Structure 1
């Protein structure tokens, strides 16, 4: 029952519209070869910009200016990222709400949601990117 309550609360955090959970593969079909800008939702604060180099690798530029090459992998319904400078994996459920894209942190104990506010073909430029 607690899990259902958490799922309802997670959905209430997003705009009241038709929500569609995307599979990780559907999200990657949209993202690979593109650069996505992530902002907190609600709030609109920049989280970072991620260039999806392939289905397995990304270049992540955080809002603080630090950059890292990330490994992308799929864990069930979640799209996950591993970065060499962070011991935790970051797993997200991609969602489409009308014409807007969101990612919701896959750990139900955290209400973290981010909106993808821009998709471009511009590369992420980093002064120093750690080698993998």
Structure 2
């Protein structure tokens, strides 16, 4: 009987930790295996949010649509994937999980619970806009 109660308590704890129907979050190893060498475009509420190219060695190149590229790195902390970019040392941490159509992500501490969804996955490098293009 005690054995069943332990399993029931564990199941209830896990059910409370995940929203109904949510997939478990992914950590650094799974994230790295999925993204390295790819360029992913993310949308929020059906609108393109931005695109990130995932380079070897946990390096990234990010751009909001039509904006210049920002270079940075990523690491895992407390089950979240955190990004630090060259012009902003403040970590930008996200919880990622594998959805049915690609990655989904939620920004850490976002009280509105907004979510980014992967809408395009490419092996092509990110095309960067910027002041030095064509120079």
TM-score tier after normalising by the smaller chain length:
0.7 to 0.9
Q: Which consecutive segments of 4 or more residues in structure 1 shift more than 6 A?
A: none
Measure, in 1, the Cα distance between the counterparts of 2:65 and 2:46: 12
Measure, in 2, the Cα distance between the counterparts of 1:108 and 1:47: 16
The 5-angstrom pairing of residues 1-132 of structure 1 reads: 11=19, 17=21, 19-40=23-44, 43-107=45-109, 109-128=111-130
Measure, in 2, the Cα distance between the counterparts of 1:62 and 1:92: 16
- What's the Cα RMSD here? 2.7
What TM-score, normalized to structure 1?
0.75
Q: Which has the higher contact order (CA 8 A, sep 6+)?
A: 1
Instruction: Give the structure with higher Rg (CA).
Output: 2
Structure 1 gap segments, 5+ residues each = 1-7
What TM-score, normalized to structure 2?
0.73
Measure, in 2, the Cα distance between the counterparts of 1:85 and 1:121: 26
Structure 2 gap segments, 5+ residues each = 1-15
